[in-house]
Amino acid sequence: MVRLRVVTTDDWPLWRDVRRAALAEAPHAFTSRLADWHRGGEERWRARLEVPGAYHVVALLDGRAVGMAGGLPGDGGPPELRSVWVSPGARGHGVGGLLIAAVETWALRTGATALRLAVIPGNAPAIALYERHGFAATREPGELLADGVTRELVMVKALRPR
């Protein structure tokens, strides 16, 4: 049974451990690098969790963290789904869907009518997950990636109260 746990600033060690696991296991899926997160210590991890209005959730299976996702308030636009990751052993069991649904519920509670995300093009499993959950690619140019040529793929989902 998967249980979702909303993460607070006091849970920074849990968030740190899951985020490091995600960056180590799937470096191709994130714009951040594991080496970027070894600096700063507790203050940096707490700061990540203290963003006003943000929402962070960890998926636990038998008490073990197997996934994560975050929601960040939009900067004049819809809120963003960020940092989605599911450990390899938990993939294919609905964990990603549970994490996405939790962030959608948070976004609806804030009054949002849409949820936005950016994904690395070519990350076919992630794109397929997002499409299964109602996200569609937009024509909006995403952030430029480290190669200086490729841009993130921006996807949006219209939200409707359940």
Domain with 130 in it: what CATH number?
3.40.630.30
Is the pLDDT score of 119 beyond 90?
Answer: yes
Average pLDDT over residues 74-92: 94
Is the pLDDT score of 110 beyond 70?
Answer: yes
pLDDT at position 76: 86
> What is the spatial order of strands in the sheet that 136-144 belongs to?
2-6, 55-61, 64-72, 80-86, 114-119, 151-158, 136-144
The phi and psi torsions of 60 (rounded to 5 degrees) equal -120, 135
For the chain, percent of residues with pLDDT exceeding 70: 97
Q: What total of structural domains would you count in the chain? A: 1
Cα(71)–Cα(11) distance, rounded to whole angstroms?
Answer: 16
Q: Residue 60: count other Cβ atoms within 10 Å of its Cβ.
A: 17
pLDDT tens, residue by residue, 42-54:
888 899 899 999 9
Structural domain of 20: 2-158
